[in-house]
Amino acid sequence: MFGTAYGDVGSSIYYALGVVAISALGLTPLVLIASGILFLFTALTYAEGATALPDSGGSGAFARRAFNDRISFLASWVLMMDYIVTIAISAFAAANYLGHFLPELKSWPENSMAAIAIVAGLAFVNIRGSQESPRLNIVLVVIDILPQVAIGVLGILLIISFPQLIHNIHWGVAPTTNQLLFGISISMVAYTGIETVANLGAETRKPGRNIPRAVLLVFATVIALYALLSMTALSAYPVHQNANGQWVTGLTNYLADPIMGIVYSMPSAIQHVLGFWVAILAVTILIVATNAGIIGASRLAYFMGKRQQLPPILSQLSRKRQVPRNAILIFAAIACTMITTGKVTFLVDIYAFGAMLAYTSAHASIIALRIKEPNLPRPFKIPLNIRIRQRDIPITAVIGGLATFTTWFIVVYTHHLGRIVGFTWLGIGLLLYFLNRRTTHQPEAGSGEA
């Protein structure tokens, strides 16, 4: 569980740092730590939901049981958008890290073309039928963590300067209040992959014990690495005013490969060895994350198809390989279209829109199930509860739900492209949903149905 979950969540380290630093500037370490706490609250919610309802539908499965089929569809549909963005952003970042060996891949459109080739290749592999190897995941994660720890240790020894980190912060100016809100709203991209916990709930032995342990271990590992790497980055690339008077950090020159930017700031004797190591492992883990996004999207399409939430053409399994071939092709094609923009910031905007809605739905569903079904078997139950009318309400789910909904509102208010694409995606989804219901004459399921 840790290997699989960290493989998804930890891969975001390789691209999230740069896009958060654009807006959060000197407050980037604090923003990432704060969003890490929100990640923990959300992960605990998914841990309870995944152990109580061990299905592959994630927040959509929770919402179906807690509310109704329509809410379940909306939660699943925005989650589908996030899987597609995960495919796109992971492949695009992988292509840019390949630029360490082939410098032309650091420029558009070459990096987009390489990323599209990665997605196309993985889509073909999944259509042919692939199996994930938990042991391979564990090996890759262990190997991947080592250079991240090495960079953090070298950062402490050679680069991190607390006076510089303090000097980077100019309250109300760099960042401004709007910039800080913008940075907070996209910071959850640093923790992509929370849904992995829920999707593997049905496949985990002793989920009541193993899922919470995996969640806490992933949280501790990621938050420690983000703290070290962000402090190293902001010490190496201090916040300063450019020729136009704008406050910037040199880290934004490495939007798609910020960890490589940290490596380039180290002494030349270290750069050659560490650069090669980081580039190879970054490409590997990001390709794994791209593949996980394809698998996640296909599993979710199958889940939604079983519940008549999507037209059969999207969810039906191929006869020979027993995989949702059409879903893989269509969603991979959408991811490739997103990649053509060549803009990480655009992808992050879209991800934040969908993720915050999905997480809010998950928190609300767990709270509703505590009220509606207090006797539902829960192998893992979120600690820290308040008792209201003989019902235990989890404090972390309440705080997490309010925080994710507020963050979604900030995304809608501040992210122009994310708002347009997000609401367009919702509109397309609802149209598909109602047309499919009318065509198949399926009644809408009410709450309490698994």
Topology of 2-440 in CATH?
A: Amino acid/polyamine transporter I (1.20.1740)
Percent of the chain topping pLDDT 90: 25
Average pLDDT for 369-394:
90
Higher pLDDT among residues 34 and 437, named by residue: 34
Contact of 341 with 58, CB cutoff 8 Å: no
Q: What is the mean pLDDT of residues 341-352?
A: 86
Please, are residues 114 and 401 in contact by the beta-carbon 8 Å criterion? Answer: no
58 alpha-carbon distance from chain centroid: 14
Per-residue model confidence (pLDDT) at position 439? 78
Contacts of 231 (CB under 8 A, 6+ apart): 29, 155, 160, 165
For residues 4 and 446, the model is more confident at 4
Q: What average pLDDT does range 171-200 have in this prediction?
A: 77
pLDDT of res. 269: 83
pLDDT at 364 over 90: yes
CA 170 to chain centre: 29
d(CA 294, CA 291): 5
What pLDDT is attached to residue 400?
A: 93
More confident residue, 199 or 124: 124
Going from N- to C-terminal start, the domains of the chain cover 2-440
Say whether pLDDT at 132 is over 60: no
pTM: 0.87
Q: What is the pLDDT of residue 318?
A: 67
pLDDT at 58 over 70: yes
* pLDDT for the residue numbered 148: 84
Whether residue 447 is predicted with pLDDT greater than 60 in this model: the reply is no
> Is the pLDDT confidence value at 450 over 60?
no
Residue 442 — pLDDT band, cuts 50, 70, 90? low
Residue 10 clears pLDDT 90, i.e. is over it: no
On the question of pLDDT at 91 being above 90, the answer is yes
CA separation for the pair 146, 24 (Å, rounded): 27
What integer pLDDT is reported at residue 118 of this predicted model?
94
Cis peptide leading into residue 109 (ω within 30°): yes
**For 381-405, what is the mean pLDDT?**
91
What is the average per-residue pLDDT within 174-181? 84
Please report, rounded to a whole number, the percentage of residues in the chain having pLDDT higher than 70: 90
